[in-house]
C-alpha cells in the first residue's frame, strides 16, 4: 500500500507561518532575459519542518535567498506571519548557510551573541540567551573556545545556536550539512531533528540529499528546473521521533521512491 503520493499544489494557507505567492525571478544575461523561477507557490505551517529538493541549478538557493530577503523577486510576494518580506533577514527570519559563517576572532559565546548585540538586547538577557541556546545545542562547555578549535559539526551547531538566539519565527537552512563527511552528517541530522522536537521552530531547509529531506521533514517540495517550478509536494508519513535506522524501513524507502520518481520525471 502506497504511503505518500505526489499531489497537485494546494491554495496558499492564509494562516501559514510562511507563504510564498507567485514568486518569479528573472536575470539579464548578455542582453537577454533568463527566467530562473516561474510562479512559485508554497506554504509552511507554524512549527512545521519542510525540505525542498531539486537538481543542481533548479533555483533552490535563489528561492531561499528571496524568502530570506537577500535578493528581491521580479514578481510575487513572500509573507511571514502575514507580513510581507521587504528586507534582509532579521528577528523574524534566521539563516544557516552551508559554509561555516562564524567570525574567527570571536569566541563561540560572542558569535552566538552577535545578532543580539546588533539589536541592542540588554547585556543580562544576551548572556541568558547565549547560555540557554549553547546548552540546547550541547556546546555549553565550548563557550570560550574559538571556531578554529571546533570540528565542522560543532561549527554548524554554533551557527544554528546563533540563529535560534534571535528567536526567529522561521529558520531558513541552505544545505547546512553539505560540507560534512557522511558520519558527521548523519549525527547532525539526528541532532537537528532532536532540536526541532525540543523547540518546534518552523524550518525550511533546502538540500540535494533526498534521504536527508525525508528523514528530517514532514513535507518535501520537489522543484523542476529550467525554469525553477514546484513540481510535486510529498507528505512524509513517518513518526515525529525518528531514529537513524528508520531510513531502512519499508515505509521510508517507499517515500524515497516517490521523491526520486518526481526528480527523474523532471530530468526526462
Closest Cα to residue 114, out of 146, 162, 156, 159?
162
- DSSP structure class, residue 7: B
H/E segment holding residue 114: helix 108-118
pTM: 0.88
User: What does the pLDDT read at residue 190?
Assistant: 92
Among residues 119, 114, 90, 93, the alpha carbon closest in space to that of 20 is found at 93
Q: Which pLDDT belongs to residue 91?
A: 66
Residues in the chain: 268
Domains and CATH numbers, the chain: 34-92+169-268 (3.40.50.300), 102-167 (no CATH)
| Average pLDDT over the chain, rounded to an integer | 88
User: Using CA atoms, how far apart are residues 264 and 7, in angstroms rounded to an integer?
Assistant: 16
Q: What is the pLDDT of residues 101-160, one digit of tens each?
A: 899 999 999 999 998 998 899 999 999 999 999 998 999 999 999 999 999 999 999 999
Residue 14: band (very low, low, confident or very high) from pLDDT cuts 50, 70, 90 = low
| pLDDT class of 24 with cuts at 50, 70, 90 | very high
Residue 94 confidence (pLDDT) above 80: yes
Is the pLDDT at 93 greater than 80? The verdict is: yes
Give the pLDDT score at 1. 34
Residue 210 to residue 229: CA distance in whole angstroms: 18
Task: Report which DSSP code applies to 244.
Answer: G
pLDDT at 10 over 80: no
Distance from C-alpha of 147 to C-alpha of 108, rounded to nearest angstrom: 7
Angle (nearest 5°) at CA 70 between 55 and 154: 70
What is the model's pLDDT at position 101? 81
Per-residue pLDDT for 267 more than 70?
no
174: β partners = 206
pLDDT level of residue 268 (50, 70, 90 thresholds): low
DSSP-derived pairing of the beta strands 219-224 and 229-235 = antiparallel
Tell me how far apart the 2 most distant CA atoms of the chain are, in Å: 57
Measure the CA angle with vertex 261, ends 257 and 262; round to 5°: 120
Amino acid at each position: 500500500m502506497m504511503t505518500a503520493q505526489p499531489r497537485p499544489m494546494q491554495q496558499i494557507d492564509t494562516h501559514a507561518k510562511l507563504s510564498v505567492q507567485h514568486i518569479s525571478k528573472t536575470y539579464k544575461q548578455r542582453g537577454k532575459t533568463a527566467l530562473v523561477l516561474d510562479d512559485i507557490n508554497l506554504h509552511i505551517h507554524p512549527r512545521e519542518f519542510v525540505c525542498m529538493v531539486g537538481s543542481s541549478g533548479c533555483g533552490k538557493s535563489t528561492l531561499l535567498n528571496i524568502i530570506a530577503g537577500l535578493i528581491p523577486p521580479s514578481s510575487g510576494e513572500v509573507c511571514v506571519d502575514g507580513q510581507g518580506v521587504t528586507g534582509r533577514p532579521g528577528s523574524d527570519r534566521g539563516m544557516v548557510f552551508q559554509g561555516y559563517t562564524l567570525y574567527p576572532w570571536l569566541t563561540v559565546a560572542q558569535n552566538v551573541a552577535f545578532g543580539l548585540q546588533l539589536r541592542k538586547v540588554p547585556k543580562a538577557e544576551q548572556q541568558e540567551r547565549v547560555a540557554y541556546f549553547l546548552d540546547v545545542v550541547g556546546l555549553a562547555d565550548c563557550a570560550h573556545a574559538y571556531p578554529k578549535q571546533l570540528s565542522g559539526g560543532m561549527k554548524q551547531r554554533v551557527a544554528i545556536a546563533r540563529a535560534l538566539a534571535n528567536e526567529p519565527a522561521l529558520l531558513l537552512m541552505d544545505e547546512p550539512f553539505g560540507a560534512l563527511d557522511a558520519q558527521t552528517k548523519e549525527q547532525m541530522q539526528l541532532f537537528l531533528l532532536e532540536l526541532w522536537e525540543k523547540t518546534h521552530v518552523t524550518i525550511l531547509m533546502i538540500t540535494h540529499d533526498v534521504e536527508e529531506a525525508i528523514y528530517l521533514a514532514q513535507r518535501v517540495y520537489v522543484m523542476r528546473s529550467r525554469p525553477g517550478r514546484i513540481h510535486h509536494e510529498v507528505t512524509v508519513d513517518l513518526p515525529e521521533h525518528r531514529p537513524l535506522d528508520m531510513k531502512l524501513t519499508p515505509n521510508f524507502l517507499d517515500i524515497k521512491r516517490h521523491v526520486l520518481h518526481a526528480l527523474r520525471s523532471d530530468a526526462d
